Amino acid sequence: MSLPIGKKIVFYTLLIITAAIVFAPTVMAFVMSFMSNKDIMTGSMPSVLTFDNYVKAFNQFPLLQYLFNSFLISIVIMLGQLILSSLAAYAFVFLEFKGRDMLFYLFIATMMVPFEASVIPNFHTIRDLGWIDTYPGLSVPFFAMAFGTFLLRQNFKQIPKELREASLITGMGDFKFYLTVVLPVARTSLVTLGAYGFLTSWNMYLWPLLATTNDSVRTVQIGLKQLQTQEQLNDWGVIMAGAIIVIIPTLILLFLGQKQLQKGLTEGALK
């Protein structure tokens, strides 16, 4: 884009200022995680930079356990979503049955129901199944995902029907076609959906809070909240150190998958 130099300067100055404002809390958190408590409270610039906060964060709380729980639950949810969404999307695209489109619209309509509205029935189900404080209780309610099905359906629709017909002539069944053709061809979208699902579950707060009563299966987001105390002065350095640790997987995923994520999310929207 060719802009006059004056305009360019104005634009870039504005952009830099906004970027600084948006990014300030993160930078602050990052710097604070290396500062001593005294420095933080007095609001001065850091006099010493230490790793004390990180050590404390790991010692004071079962942070490793939390991280492990979060990882496990996020990965299970991600896999569950990928499997169910892709199977459902396959049915919506390649299988012909009466009322298919009607069913799909109904499916999509569930996207309008906010998660909070289904929390109570979900909780009842989990409780009756005796799944409170278990990994299934934390992950299974999120397997079915209307958005994922929608995304993959749009993607599968771009696969030419002739591919299915060619495979029919060679005598390939639906499941084999799904495994050997549809999944490899739609790889990009699957990666996108996987990353999206992982991040969403990683950042989940309300449900783990409800469905857990002790530290054994609690996720890291709840752990982070526990770092803040009600009674005494908050140890902000430790909290920030915890927060930094928690966002690391998110950042890694974002850096690695940003291109794929963008490509996949916009791909379906074009058609």
Give residues in contact with other proteins (CB under 8 A): 160, 162-163, 165-172, 176, 181, 184-185, 187
The least distance separating other proteins from the CB of residue 253, rounded to whole angstroms, comes to: 24
- The residue among 7 and 271 lying less far from other proteins, judged by its C-beta, is 271
- The residue among 167 and 203 lying less far from other proteins, judged by its C-beta, is 167
Contact (Cβ atoms closer than 8 angstroms) between residue 196 and residue 261: yes
The least distance separating other proteins from the CB of residue 197, rounded to whole angstroms, comes to: 23
Q: How far apart are CA 152 and CA 145, in angstroms?
A: 11
- The residue among 156 and 236 lying less far from other proteins, judged by its C-beta, is 156
In one-letter notation, the amino acid at residue 97 is F
The least distance separating other proteins from the CB of residue 162, rounded to whole angstroms, comes to: 4
Contact (Cβ atoms closer than 8 angstroms) between residue 192 and residue 147: no
Task: Give the CA dihedral 172, 175, 176, 177, nearest 10 degrees.
Answer: 70
174 CB burial (10 A radius; 0-12, 13-18, 19+): middle
- The residue among 101 and 162 lying less far from other proteins, judged by its C-beta, is 162
Q: How far apart are CA 157 and CA 150, in angstroms?
A: 11
Tell me which residue of 212, 77, 86 sits closest to 140, measured CA to CA. 77
CB within 8 Å of 188: residues ≥ 6 apart: 155, 260, 263, 264, 267
- The residue among 141 and 194 lying less far from other proteins, judged by its C-beta, is 194
The least distance separating other proteins from the CB of residue 92, rounded to whole angstroms, comes to: 20
The least distance separating other proteins from the CB of residue 180, rounded to whole angstroms, comes to: 8
